[in-house]
Amino acid sequence: MPNAPVQLDKSMLERGYWLATHRLVLKKWTSIGLYILIAFSYLYFFVQFGVYMYNYNEWQAIMAQSVATPYTWADIQAANAPLDIEVTEPHLFARGDNRYDAVAQVHNPNEQWGVESFQYVFVFSDGSRTEPIAGYVIPNETKFLTKQGFISQTPLSRITDVELSEVRWKKISRLPVLSWMFTAPPEYLGSQVISDGGVQRQLPPRITWSVRNDSTLSIRTVVWQVALYTGSQLNSVINYQAENFLFFAERNFEIVLNSATGRVSSVTVNPLVNIFDPGYTYLP
């Protein structure tokens, strides 16, 4: 049985006619659209590629900065090197008979660096010099460098320099716990006249103090550095050495002065312990 014929209405005929007459125009605009789409695709690709390269170069720079060492070992060593010890306030005291006492203050400003050993020399106004004297300074310590009884046949007016040499630094992570309790503070006692069995006797001026070792360490050698002052001016420095100071022990000290020290108005006493000496402590 033959197929029934398809009936074409007027609208279908009009659309078919329009497509037939506008085929070339449609092809042209379709091609233009495709070219525009391809152009936008290339443009998008190049833009994204440019953004990628920019970010890549920036990332490379960041990585280079993060990998590059921002310091050198020389800078590290310089930043961690100890500060120089400071020598100030040199004093020269004439004691008579061509004898002089030389004194200068030394300070170590470092908290973890000590000077295990060094040599110091006093240089005087006439060019004469003392023999090298051994010393040490623990972290944050302030004390006096001294040379007592220096003999000079020519008058000396002042100290021109204090030369340091052979300075050996040592880093200290933790200082030993040393504690000294002055049970009787340092006191200057001037010359006195006493009666002893009906006979008057004159006592020379002296310095007394009492101290207790409040640490748990027995100290083999303690140098008590006694500074005498007339008003605010340093008068003299005396180093008094004590041996075998037992832990928790208490001792009384007395130093007899000679007339060369002159008038004394105040006294300070500072304990010095050489912790760099391996045998500075002992077992009782």
Helix H or strand E encompassing 180? strand 180-189
From the number of C-beta atoms within 10 Å of its C-beta (0-12, 13-18, 19+), residue 102 rates as: buried
Looking at residue 193, its pLDDT comes to 81
Nearest-angstrom CA–CA distance, 61 and 59: 5
Burial 162-187 (b: 16+ CB within 10 A, else e): bebeebebbebeeeeebebeeeeebe
pLDDT for res 219: 97
208 touches 264 (CB < 8 A): no
Cα dist. 225→104, 119, 133, 142 in Å?
Answer: 13, 19, 17, 11
What's the rounded Cα separation, in Å, for the pair 279 and 215?
A: 17
SS3 190: coil
Give the pLDDT confidence score for residue 7 in this predicted structure.
59
Predicted confidence at residue 76, as pLDDT, reads 57
Note the pLDDT of residue 107. Answer: 97
Decide if 117 contacts 138 (C-beta within 8 A).
Answer: no
Write the CA distances from 181 to 1, 164, 192, 248, integer angstroms: 134, 33, 28, 10
pLDDT tens by residue, the chain, 284 residues: 555 565 556 677 677 766 677 777 777 788 888 888 888 888 887 777 777 777 666 666 666 665 555 556 556 555 678 999 999 989 999 988 999 999 999 999 999 999 999 999 999 999 999 999 999 999 999 999 999 999 999 999 999 999 999 999 999 989 999 999 999 999 999 888 877 777 888 888 999 999 999 999 999 999 999 999 999 999 999 999 999 999 999 999 999 987 667 788 999 999 999 999 999 999 98
Between CA 100 and CA 279 the distance in angstroms is 33
User: 10 Å Cβ neighbour count for 122?
Assistant: 25
Query: Any residues with CB less than 8 A from the CB of 52 and at least 6 apart, and which?
Result: none
Tokens of 121: 């020399």
Give the pairing type, strands 113-124 and 99-107.
unpaired
* Residue 213 one-letter amino acid: N
The answer for 248, left when phi > 0, alpha when psi is -120 to 50, beta otherwise, is left
Phi-psi region of 262 (alpha: psi -120 to 50; beta: other; left: phi over 0): left
